[in-house]
Amino acid sequence: MKKIQIGVLLIFTGLTMFAQEIYISDKLEKVWETPDVLKVSESVCYDSERDVLYVSCINGNPTGKDGRGFIAKVSLDGEITKEKWVTGLDAPKGMGIYKDKLYVTDIDNITEINISTGEAENHFKVEGAKFLNDIAIGPYGVVYFSDMGTNTIHKLSNGKVEIFLKDPQISKPNGILYENKDIVIGTKNGVFVARISDGKIWHLIKDTGGIDGLKPDAKGNYIISDWQGKVQLVNTEKKPEVLLNTTEAGINAADIEYITKQKLLLIPTFGANSVVAYRVLTE
């Protein structure tokens, strides 16, 4: 009897320890998780016109020019409808959509993909780039994108690449978004805003920790991820609120997506090779 009791205790203890490795706020409800075939899933991008998700998969080293990278198509209920929709990329990361084009950062160039055909139509070389990451696109098709390796925000307009912003305050820029004629930038420990009209910069939110993904929640907050596994809700009024933390379990939280109408948070798990969807339960 003692042996059985000890065995049960060990099993229970193991389950408890595993449960403690993953923190999920009561504001989140897990909806689905894809199979772990999305190799090194880095970013998720929602195509509202076609009601589909695109997932960039590095499938190797984040700086490796090996042609192994691909983009998958995933439905909103978590079904992988086309695992290797676009192939032949190196290490695809951030994505953005304008009309019928999907723009993807790929180490030191921007790849333009025709969404209708799934074919790469153009590659825009970014001179001096080291680690291109996230993308934000304005209403007229200007593509803004971050380079963590050179602390620079570039822009692509009418086929021409140029520097939009390079400032000592913007350290390790990663997640970016277009909002109210400004570019909002996630850095190594805060959220900055750069005004497009004159380049003026101000520090919006401090002490966030490192930021990978950065998305608005349509309520004046931002949802941020830190790559290691933490997802937080931040704003200018309160301290960051942890929504999810999978760091101890070794599950990453890379460049997230948030669909406001459905309150659906999509988290690419990078080394865990999947995408996990959570419903955000708010008042």
Burial class (CB in 10 A: 0-12, 13-18, 19+), 13: exposed
Name the one residue in this structure whose structure tokens are 């109408």.
261
Q: How far is it, in rounded angstroms, from Cα 211 to Cα 96?
A: 18
**Model confidence pLDDT, tens digit, residues 104-117:** 999 999 999 999 99
Closest by Cα among 273, 245, 267 to 44: 267
pLDDT of residue 231: 99
pLDDT above 60 (res 165): yes
Domains of the chain are 37-221 (2.120.10.30)
**Model confidence pLDDT, tens digit, residues 50-88:** 999 999 999 999 999 999 999 999 999 999 999 999 999
**Model confidence pLDDT, tens digit, residues 166-213:** 999 999 999 999 999 999 999 999 999 999 999 999 999 999 999 999
Name the one residue in this structure whose structure tokens are 């190594």.
188
> Order of strands, edge to edge, in the sheet holding 152-157?
132-137, 143-147, 152-157, 160-166
pLDDT of residue 20: 54
Q: How far is it, in rounded angstroms, from Cα 62 to Cα 157?
A: 26
Q: How far is it, in rounded angstroms, from Cα 101 to Cα 179?
A: 20
Name the one residue in this structure whose structure tokens are 């750069």.
194
**Model confidence pLDDT, tens digit, residues 14-34:** 444 445 599 999 999 999 999
